[in-house]
Amino acid sequence: MSVKLSSVLISDPVDKSCGALLTEHGIPVTTKHKLSKDELINELQNHDALIVRSETKVTADVFAACPNLRVVGRAGTGVDNIDLQAATRKGVIVLNTPGGNSISACELTCALISSLARNVAQAAQSLKEGRWDRKLYSGYELSGKTLAILGMGRIGREVAYRMQSFGMNIVAFDPILKPEVADELGVRLLDLENIWPVADYITVHTPLIPQTKNLINATTLAKCKKGVYIVNVARGGIVDEEALLNSLKLEHCGGAALDVFVEEPPKNPVTLELIKHPKVVATPHLGASTAEAQLRVAEEIAQQFLGLSGKSAEYAVTGIVNAPVLSAAMTNENEPWIELSKKLGQLAGRFLKGKLDTIIHSQTVGSGMQDKQFIHTAVLVGILTGQTKNGLNLINAPTLAQDIGIRLQESHVEGDNKAVIVKVEEHIIKGTVRDNQLLLLALDDAVFANGIAFSDYICLYRANRVQDLANIVNVFSSKSINIHNLNANGSWVIIQTDREISVQVDEIESF
């Protein structure tokens, strides 16, 4: 499965290797920086893909006004500047580079922890100003102290590995991390309520989502040890800046190191006062600002575009943000199953006859099929074909189905042979992939042992009388419509033709 990319706009500064790699593989690139929203919308009429960093804001207005846009890539980790909900509804793929910044952000985090412990920034500034304040800037050893890491993704794990070499005890909170993995990493998993009282240092490595906004606030800071240090190299807004400032003033918080802020560049008086506080080390969002990280994210986003477009089989698509199911679907092995599921969904859609408020059952059968979650989404794509004016694909199908009242129930059963079963109303449709051929195996009581190939166009008739088959064939003949294939089994007659038609036969129900 691939997405056609005819041209790419790069609207933020990224390393030149990004555009060079795309151009080398035949994808034209246009580079224009500092575009206003109207200028961005106007320029995107000429492109179907966009690469940004953090300056360009890709809002719902942009997605609504750019019908050709198929892919937005963020050369970095966070996607706060991209409206994911709007992108998903419009069927636009959003990519990031999840591993590109990890080492750089990790190393800055470790440097800031060490700087807090030994008052490096304050002592250096004091000496530059002509003072010799040895006693004032006496610090603490990190060895034996407890570091709490909130979020054990790539960066959190790298921080844990490095700070363990300082002799720090690592405790962590991550609802996704499995206990056995935590044991392998040498960290102790705790819930948040148990972390606050034991941590000497707290560093956050989570995305900014509703659940993490102001994660460190007045209430949680009050539960922490007196003298706790706070580090944020993740996203502004995870730490409540006013609460942190108040805790510093009360001398409950011993110090903080901040690389990110709610507003960048900061203008809010509270944030500016926080930055100027003598126990705060502040840097201007330098987490990914290394030559290595900038090169890495530029190359990685270009590589993913090439993998997504099918221009190169060398690269994998690893950073799909708004449709994880798409990552698993994007292999040659899985593409026939996607197409089969769409076909089954299209057949199921005929039985709805315009009825949208209903439940669809999608079931996978056989070993390994439970991992192909994209099958259920592809069934939805088939059902929704012709039912919506929006662009329709694996990304937005679940959202669009929900909008019109179609609910999908997914299940899996084991079996000797791999198959997909779709149930709608009182009908059951079953299909499989055999030697890359898409086959219909059963329709209600009609079983086709060798399968009917999903080729050409299909007409369905429910025949209950002996003469029904002859009547159907006579009508097709009278209209000079060539029948490529005819299957009659149970109560169903399935006719395949070389063009899309709708032929009514008196007293015979058709779909």
**Active site amino acids:** 235, 264, 285
| Nearest Cα to Cα of residue 58 among 42, 39, 37, 34 | 37
Residue written as token pair 């129930």: 409
Radius of gyration of the chain (CA): 29
Q: Which residues pair with 485 in a beta bridge?
A: 496
Q: What CA–CA distance (Å, rounded) separates 484 from 482?
A: 6
E strands, 205-306, in order = 228-232, 253-258, 280-282
Report residue 484: phi and psi, to 5°. Answer: -80, -35
Q: Hunting for tokens 């929900």 — which residue is that?
A: 402
Residues 322 and 447: their CA atoms lie apart, in Å, by 39
Tokens 């709007």 locate to 86
Q: How far is CA 183 from the centre of its chain?
A: 28
Structure tokens at 465: 């009388």
Report the amino acid identity of residue 94: V
3-state SS string for 198-210: CCCEEEECCCCCC
Q: What are phi and psi of 320, to 5 degrees?
A: -70, 125
Residue 27 tokens read as 């994808």
> Rounded CA gap, 104 and 288, in Å?
6
Strands 201-204 and 188-189: unpaired
